[in-house]
Amino acid sequence: MAEPVPPTRPRIPGSGLAKGLAVTLRTMTRKTVTEQYPDAQPELPPRTRGVIGLFEENCTVCMLCARECPDWCIYIDSHKETIPAATPGGRDRSRNVLDRFAIDFSLCMYCGICIEVCPFDALFWSPEFEYSETDIRDLTHERDKLREWMWTVPAPPALDPAAEEPKELAAARKAADKLAAQQAVQPTGTHADEQVRGAEEPTRQMGDSKQQTDQPRPDQPGADRSRPEQEGRE
């Protein structure tokens, strides 16, 4: 036996129109979330993956980024250069010189693997995203263009106050403290002055200078090895 159909309420004429107008009024009074791009630039998070910048001074042409790129869209050309030995009898060294570094952004999927694997910090994300082109070939950015993107890379965030101090900072501070201590015990001359004086001393004639008689040589008994001039020679 069929179920009884519940009675439908009678429709009020114009109720649909009133409901639609109510929705419109409610939406009009809400704050809009639409960004008026390009008139208003969007506020992007600092770690936005917009485009990749190359700091080629750091690049050693190790090819790791090109090998790991899942899209094979990094093109690197290089040649070897021989550097003569710095000292007589030493061995010549060879190094890779970068000839071409390009990224095809029409293939790139912005995975960031190349940036992660680069062992020498030569690749960085930039939040710039306005580089659309009408010709797909123009989306291959060569090294000059990749370098320009470098200047749009934001500064790294500040260190956590509780973080361990980077060893580079500690080494620089230690060197500065040592220099300051050296200058403190040499109030009448700079370290460079002492080095120059130390270099001139061996050329002086023995016994023809009053200063030599006043200042005992380091190998004489009783010579004060903590004197500033001796420190300068050391």
* Binding annotation for [4Fe-4S] cluster: 59, 62, 65, 69, 108, 111, 114, 118
Contacts with ligand SF4 by CB under 6 A: the residue count is 25
Among 44, 111, 171, 181, binds ligand SF4 (CB under 6 A): 111
Residues within window 65-84 making contact with ligand SF4, judged by CB under 6 A: 65, 69-71, 73-74, 76
Site string for ligand SF4, 2-41 (x = CB under 6 A): ----------------------------------------
* Cα distance between residue 104 and residue 106, in whole Å: 5
Contact 110, 71 (CB under 8 A): no
Q: Which residue's entry shows tokens 């002055």?
A: 193
Contact 213, 204 (CB under 8 A): no
Q: Which H or E run contains 218?
A: none
Q: Which H or E run contains 173?
A: helix 167-184
Minimum CB distance to ligand SF4, residue 71 (Å): 4
**E strand spans, the chain:** 51-54, 74-83, 93-104, 123-126, 140-141
Angle at which helices 191-200 and 167-184 cross, to 10°: 60
Residues within window 48-67 making contact with ligand SF4, judged by CB under 6 A: 59-65
Q: Which is nearer to ligand SF4, 124 or 232 (CB)?
A: 124
Single out the segment in contact with ligand SF4 by CB under 6 A; choices: 85-93, 111-119, 212-220, 225-233.
Answer: 111-119
Among 48, 50, 75, 113, binds ligand SF4 (CB under 6 A): 113
Residue 77 pairs with which residues in a beta bridge?
Answer: 100
Burial of 54 (0-12, 13-18, 19+ CB in 10 A): buried
**Buried/exposed code over 5-19 (b: 16+ C-beta within 10 A; e: otherwise):** eeeeeeeeeeeeeee
Site string for ligand SF4, 123-162 (x = CB under 6 A): x---------------------------------------
From the annotation, which residues make up the binding site? 59, 62, 65, 69, 108, 111, 114, 118
Among 114, 126, 149, 229, binds ligand SF4 (CB under 6 A): 114
Among 51, 102, 108, 146, binds ligand SF4 (CB under 6 A): 108
Point out which residues bind ligand SF4 (CB under 6 A): 59-65, 69-71, 73-74, 76, 103, 108-114, 118, 120, 122-123
